[in-house]
């Protein structure tokens, strides 16, 4: 199993100390992970000691430790993102859309708006930004692909139609989509992306990885055994890790 979406500092509620890194790596070893990928949020970048992760990782020769970054994608900030990514040799970079046209839609206070807006338009706008993120060339991975569903609002139009252009661009760019287990603990109560989309990803030949989106050590690897089984049921036979932005394949 791989966990390629782990937040060492959470939402800046702890420091990236050697002790905290070890706590995450001990959990990864305890549950038998083959690879763990640290990917803190880009807006905490200046507070991270990424070389320290590399140093502590040498204490765990049985565990592959990758270092990435989860970047909030905004079209007007592509230059700023490129500048950040030049500062460290990241193994992978997750592009995530948490905001559309200044609306940060995944905050608790945003939930009423989900129920008030036109669902089809909301999904169209969201997937348009995901498509732009994929086209930017900045990322290896697209995070929690259908995050817009987190409050359980569904479009009238088939979601595969709404997501088609984004998935086509992901396929063209050779990017990877993650199966993110954190959605099971959100109001929507299911993985990102939903099974229908996973099956379409498999049909298109797009690679997939897995991530818990853990914001604390105890959540590392959460539900990845179930996620592995789901991927197998959808016809996916391998999962992707990264080293220096190059894909590494693991059989499920």
Helices assigned H by DSSP within 88-158: 111-116, 119-135
Confidence of residue 47 (pLDDT cuts 50, 70, 90): confident
Q: Over 70: is that where the pLDDT of 208 sits?
A: yes
Residue entry with tokens 């204490």: 59
* Model pTM score: 0.95
pLDDT tens figures, 95-104: 999 999 999 9
pLDDT tens figures, 177-198: 999 999 999 999 999 999 999 9
Q: Over 90: is that where the pLDDT of 22 sits?
A: yes
pLDDT tens figures, 232-246: 999 999 999 999 999
Long-range contacts of 156-160 (CB under 8 A, 24+ apart): 156/119, 156/120, 157/120, 157/123, 159/123, 159/194, 159/196, 159/197, 160/196, 160/197, 160/200
How far CA 212 is from CA of 4, 51, 215, 226, 251, in Å, comes to 8, 23, 9, 11, 19
Q: Over 80: is that where the pLDDT of 12 sits?
A: no
Q: Over 70: is that where the pLDDT of 227 sits?
A: yes
Q: Over 90: is that where the pLDDT of 44 sits?
A: no
Q: Over 70: is that where the pLDDT of 34 sits?
A: yes
- Give the three-state DSSP class for 30: helix
pLDDT tens figures, 107-163: 999 999 999 999 999 999 999 999 999 999 999 999 999 999 999 999 999 999 999
pLDDT tens figures, 57-100: 999 999 999 999 999 999 999 999 999 999 999 999 999 999 99
Average pLDDT over residues 158-173: 98
Q: Over 70: is that where the pLDDT of 19 sits?
A: yes
């Amino acid at each position: 199993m791989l966990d390629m979406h782990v937040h060492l500092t959470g939402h800046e509620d702890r420091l990236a100390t050697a002790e905290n890194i070890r706590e995450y790596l001990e959990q990864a070893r305890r549950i038998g992970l083959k690879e763990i990928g640290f990917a803190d949020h880009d807006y905490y970048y200046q507070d991270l000691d990424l070389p320290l992760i590399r140093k502590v990782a040498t204490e765990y020769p049985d565990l592959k430790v990758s270092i990435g970054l989860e970047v909030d994608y905004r079209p007007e900030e592509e230059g700023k993102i490129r500048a950040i990514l030049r500062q460290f040799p990241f193994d992978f970079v997750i592009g995530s859309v948490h905001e559309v046209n200044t609306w940060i839609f995944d905050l608790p206070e945003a939930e009423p708006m989900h129920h008030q807006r036109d669902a089809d338009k909301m999904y169209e706008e969201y997937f348009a930004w995901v498509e732009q993120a994929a086209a930017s060339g900045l990322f290896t991975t697209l995070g929690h692909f259908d995050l817009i569903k987190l409050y359980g609002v569904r479009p009238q139009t088939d979601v595969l139609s709404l997501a088609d252009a984004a998935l086509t661009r992901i396929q063209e760019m050779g990017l990877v989509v993650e199966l993110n287990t954190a959605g099971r603990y959100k109001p929507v109560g299911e993985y990102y992306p939903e099974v229908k989309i996973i099956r379409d990803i498999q049909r298109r030949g797009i690679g997939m990885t897995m991530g818990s989106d853990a914001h604390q050590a105890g959540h590392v690897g959460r539900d990845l055994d179930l996620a592995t089984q789901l991927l197998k049921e959808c016809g996916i036979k391998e999962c992707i890790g990264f080293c220096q932005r190059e894909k590494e394949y693991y059989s499920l």
